């Protein structure tokens, strides 16, 4: 039997390379899947606002209702009536000036995201601001 030339691929070398290639593919598949984007990261700055409004007939879709349900006053939620130069309240800041008074994030309709201090002229919002500027 003759020796294989350097350019010929012997059976053992072929099987070894095939096994290494298969292992590399088996490793790469889960890594590639873990890097792909999920729906949670699909929102971008250009995305339309979510179904949350400054005020609405449906309290579950209203920033003002979410804010005042925590004990904040309407003035704290809007920021009107506070000392001159103070920032606007979260509902006015993130919902009022947008077209149709829509909020920039649905978190503004969740009461758990609002906190009030009776001595502070503006409510504190601690929820998500993805899509807000």
* Percentage, residues of the chain above pLDDT 70: 62
In a domain, 40, yes or no: no
Q: Give the bridge partners for 53, in sequence order.
A: 62, 102
In a domain, 31, yes or no: no
In a domain, 79, yes or no: yes
In a domain, 88, yes or no: yes
Q: Mind giving me the DSSP string for 73-114?
A: -HHHHH-TTS-TTPPPPHHIIIIITSGGGB-SSGGGG-GGGE
> pLDDT tens digits for 106-132?
999 999 999 998 888 889 999 999 888
> pLDDT tens digits for 74-112?
888 987 765 555 667 898 888 876 667 888 899 999 999
Per the structure, the count of domains in the chain is 1
In a domain, 131, yes or no: no
Domain that holds residue 99: 59-125
d(CA 53, CA 131): 14
In a domain, 33, yes or no: no
In a domain, 110, yes or no: yes
Please check whether residue 116 is in contact with residue 75, taking contact to mean a CB–CB distance below 8 angstroms.
Answer: no
In a domain, 78, yes or no: yes
Please check whether residue 76 is in contact with residue 123, taking contact to mean a CB–CB distance below 8 angstroms.
Answer: yes
């Amino acid at each position: 039997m003759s020796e294989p030339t350097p350019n010929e691929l012997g059976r053992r070398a072929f099987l070894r390379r095939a096994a290494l290639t298969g292992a590399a593919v088996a490793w790469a598949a889960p890594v590639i899947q873990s890097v792909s984007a999920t729906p949670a990261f699909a929102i971008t700055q250009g995305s339309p606002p979510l179904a949350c409004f400054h005020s609405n007939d449906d309290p579950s879709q209203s920033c003002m209702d979410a804010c005042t349900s925590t004990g904040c006053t309407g003035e704290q939620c809007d920021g009107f009536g506070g000392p001159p130069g103070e920032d606007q309240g979260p509902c006015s800041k993130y919902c009022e000036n947008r077209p149709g008074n829509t909020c920039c994030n649905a978190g503004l309709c969740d009461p758990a995201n609002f906190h009030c201090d009776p001595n502070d002229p503006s409510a504190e919002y601690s929820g998500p601001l993805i899509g807000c500027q």
